[in-house]
Amino acid sequence: MPQITSVMPELPSGDLNRTRAFYETKLGFRTVSQYDDYIIFTRDRVRIHYFLYADLDPLANYGSCYLYVDDAQGLYAEYAAQGVIHPNGALKDQPYGVREFVVVDDNNCLLKFGQVLTASQE
């Protein structure tokens, strides 16, 4: 039976150069490739794609993705030092067995980072 082996979020960006600066300087991602209307970032084993949406209204943007991590507390400390933690996104152990926190990027896309704490959540 065929298997799905990975997923890569594709999110909207109002300005790819601004998004590139945010991901590289604030989140520690590296740019894999950039075109006039598309950019691909990577960090560790994760890739995130952005497409240009020049008319993007960040306040009306509901783009989001969930990224699983192996050390939520360590990554939280890294991102807190960059000042990118959402005001309501502090590190917290959730009742569903995940330690998570939230970052909102320069396009108002929500990035939720979570570490599975219990085997039943994998």
The CATH code of the domain that includes 34 is: 3.10.180.10
Q: Return all residues near 35 (Cβ < 8 A) that are at least 6 apart.
A: none
The torsion defined by the Cα of 18, 63, 85 and 74, in degrees rounded to 10, comes to: -100
Exposed, middle or buried, 60 (CB in 10 Å: 0-12/13-18/19+)? exposed
Predicted local confidence at residue 6, as pLDDT: 83
Domain span at residue 83 reads 10-55+63-121
Residue 4 lies in a domain: no
Tell me the pLDDT tens digit for each residue of 63-108: 999 999 999 999 999 999 999 999 999 999 999 999 999 999 999 9
Residue 100 counted as domain residue: yes
* Domains contained in the chain, number: 1
For residues 58 and 12, the model is more confident at 12
Q: For the chain, give the mean pLDDT.
A: 94
Task: Tell me the percentage of the chain whose pLDDT exceeds 90.
Answer: 87
* E strand or H helix that includes residue 73: helix 72-82
Indicate whether 122 pLDDT > 60: no
